[in-house]
Amino acid sequence: MSTTPSNDEERVFDALPPAQGRGFASTWWGQTWLKALEDTALDAEQLRKGRRYARQGAVGAVSVRPGRITAVVRDRDGSPHRADVLLQQLGEDDWDRLLDVVAGEAGHLAALLDRDMPPRLVEDAADAGVELLPRIGDLEPECSCDAWDHCLHTAALCYQLARLLDQDPFVLLLMRGRSERALLDELQLRSAARAAQESAAAGGSEGAAPAEARDEGVAADEAFALGAVLPPLPPPPPPVAAPGGPPALDGGTAPPAAAGLDVAALEFLAAAAAVRAHRALADALGPGHAGSMPAAPLGAAQDVVRLAAARPAPRIAARLAAGGGRTAVELEAAVRAWEFGGAPALAVLEEAWTPERDALARVRGQLAAVWPDEESRPPLRAERNRWTLVDSAAQLRYARDGRWWPYRKERGRWWPAGPAEPDPAAALAALLTGG
């Protein structure tokens, strides 16, 4: 659906495609709109024909303006008829009360911005004396076919409008007299005035709120709804040249450590946290951070390897190995993998998997592209996702993301030997040249 606003007081919606096999309204407010039509129209046959016309795509572009919707509806022979449906606009007093209702609860505006119209909003408006949705007799027809009641053309227009209302309840508010932009601008002014009044009241000498109450902040839905009037965010912090060091916990003026507390391990964890925070801040201040996906959280076993990669003292490394369920040699291999490529490299070290047929076809294609002559191709023996160079201490491991990781056999086990490469030749060359 394409929507072209010609100005703030009119929205023009392109003709919708035929609605074969689907209803005209799935939201409760769209169904309420259709109920107002069906309760008002006197001729059920005209409604039935109007539904068929709307379903077959006979309704052209729909213009929505305060108090009126308009479209050209074509008969089966192609003859056009201008159809209008009128809905009474809200008066200034009605809008004043409605705006107070919406501004009074941030969730109402948040729902509208999410293209939703919660029943509570309509109920709160009704309690304030404002009827938002049409009722029986509220939809007044006008058609160039000169019918005095709802004809098939105005019925078809109403059915088509229900589809538009489903997608955007601001269409109804425009019919009632306010465009989306005008409504949001008025709400912004009211919210700013309310915030100023609350700020002045909180700062007064009499009846001032306690400091702890004033520091509670703003609820997330309220901040979202009133984002246009919130003060701008402060500038980002400047880059930090290096991570800070933790305080000395052993000796000096520090209080004595509790019995059983490993002070050295605690200092190591604090230093590792500072390094991680420094890296996170650098990433956040870097270009493109807002559009990047956050990294998946690490599991406990992965986090042990991350900490061990900081090269702690042997006693702490031994505790990490025991806590992560690895031997010292296994942890050493895991750390080496982590240093080459983080969590993805660790997964390649620790899991063996069998590529499916499509992945195997890609592998063979890569190998054939690099070594088209089978006689010059290195003799590789495949086992699951691992290709070992025959009579050699070199191995390539194929990762699930399609990259190749080089491995070298040392001390009777396979060790990560470098970062991932996009093709097997580069990974193998790095192995054979000692790169």
Alpha-carbon span 425 to 390, nearest angstrom: 15
Assigned domain for 108 exists: yes
Torsions phi, psi for 3 (to 5 deg): -120, 125
**Per-residue pLDDT for 19 more than 80?**
no
Most confident of 18-27, 181-190, 344-353, 417-426: 344-353
Do 8 and 62 lie in one domain? The reply is yes
**Per-residue pLDDT for 154 more than 90?**
yes
**Per-residue pLDDT for 232 more than 70?**
no
**How many CA atoms lie within 13 Å of 230's alpha carbon, on the beta-carbon side?**
14
Among 351, 380, 415, where does a domain finish? 351
Residue showing tokens 């939809």: 139
Assigned domain for 247 exists: no
Do 76 and 95 lie in one domain? The reply is no
Q: What is the model's pLDDT at position 413?
A: 92
Q: What is the model's pLDDT at position 94?
A: 93
Do 346 and 393 lie in one domain? The reply is no
Do 123 and 8 lie in one domain? The reply is no
Residue showing tokens 């911005």: 113
The residues with which 85 forms a beta bridge, in sequence order, are 69, 141
Run of H or E residues at 395 = strand 394-398
Share of the chain above pLDDT 90, in %: 33
Lowest mean pLDDT among 45-49, 307-311, 376-380: 376-380
Do 25 and 77 lie in one domain? The reply is yes
Let me know: does 95 contact 178? Beta carbons within 8 Å: yes
The residues with which 80 forms a beta bridge, in sequence order, are 74
Q: What is the model's pLDDT at position 2?
A: 39
Among 178, 193, 212, where does a domain finish? 178
Q: What is the DSSP letter of 245?
A: P
Assigned domain for 244 exists: no
Instruction: Give the chain's mean pLDDT.
Output: 82
Question: In the numeric block, which tokens belong to residue 284?
Answer: 């956040």
pLDDT band at 88 (very low <50, low <70, confident <90, very high): very high
Do 58 and 119 lie in one domain? The reply is no
Average pLDDT over residues 134-148: 91
Assigned domain for 266 exists: no
**Per-residue pLDDT for 70 more than 80?**
yes
Do 197 and 74 lie in one domain? The reply is no
Residue 136 CA to its chain's centroid (Å):
40
**Per-residue pLDDT for 78 more than 50?**
yes
**Per-residue pLDDT for 228 more than 60?**
no
Assigned domain for 275 exists: no
Q: What is the model's pLDDT at position 16?
A: 85
Tens digit of pLDDT for each residue in 173-189? 999 999 888 888 888 78
Do 113 and 150 lie in one domain? The reply is no
Residue showing tokens 């009037």: 229
| Residue, of 126 and 256, whose pLDDT is higher | 126
Do 114 and 198 lie in one domain? The reply is yes
| Residue, of 302 and 261, whose pLDDT is higher | 302
pLDDT band at 402 (very low <50, low <70, confident <90, very high): confident
Domain count, the chain: 4
Helix axes 314-323, 263-285, angle to 10 degrees: 80
Q: What is the model's pLDDT at position 434?
A: 64
Lowest mean pLDDT among 27-41, 61-75, 108-122, 189-203: 189-203
Q: What is the model's pLDDT at position 220?
A: 62
Tens digit of pLDDT for each residue in 316-326? 888 888 888 88
Do 170 and 42 lie in one domain? The reply is yes
Max intra-chain CA distance, the chain: 97
pLDDT band at 21 (very low <50, low <70, confident <90, very high): low
Share of the chain above pLDDT 70, in %: 85
Do 156 and 29 lie in one domain? The reply is yes
Q: Quick one: 308 exposed, middle or buried, by C-beta within 10 A (0-12, 13-18, 19+)? A: buried
Do 342 and 386 lie in one domain? The reply is no
3-class state of residue 291 by DSSP: helix
Alpha-carbon span 279 to 342, nearest angstrom: 14
Tens digit of pLDDT for each residue in 160-217? 999 999 889 999 999 999 988 888 888 878 777 776 676 666 655 444 444 444 445 5
Question: In the numeric block, which tokens belong to residue 303?
Answer: 């986090």
Assigned domain for 106 exists: yes
Domain region containing 391: 357-432
pTM, two decimal places: 0.49
Residue 423 CA to its chain's centroid (Å):
34
Assigned domain for 290 exists: no
Alpha-carbon span 16 to 163, nearest angstrom: 9
Lowest mean pLDDT among 44-53, 188-197, 224-233: 224-233
Assigned domain for 333 exists: yes
Tens digit of pLDDT for each residue in 327-363? 889 999 999 999 999 999 999 999 998 888 887 887 7
Q: How many angstroms separate the Cα of 44 from the Cα of each of 35, 155, 189, 262? A: 13, 10, 46, 83
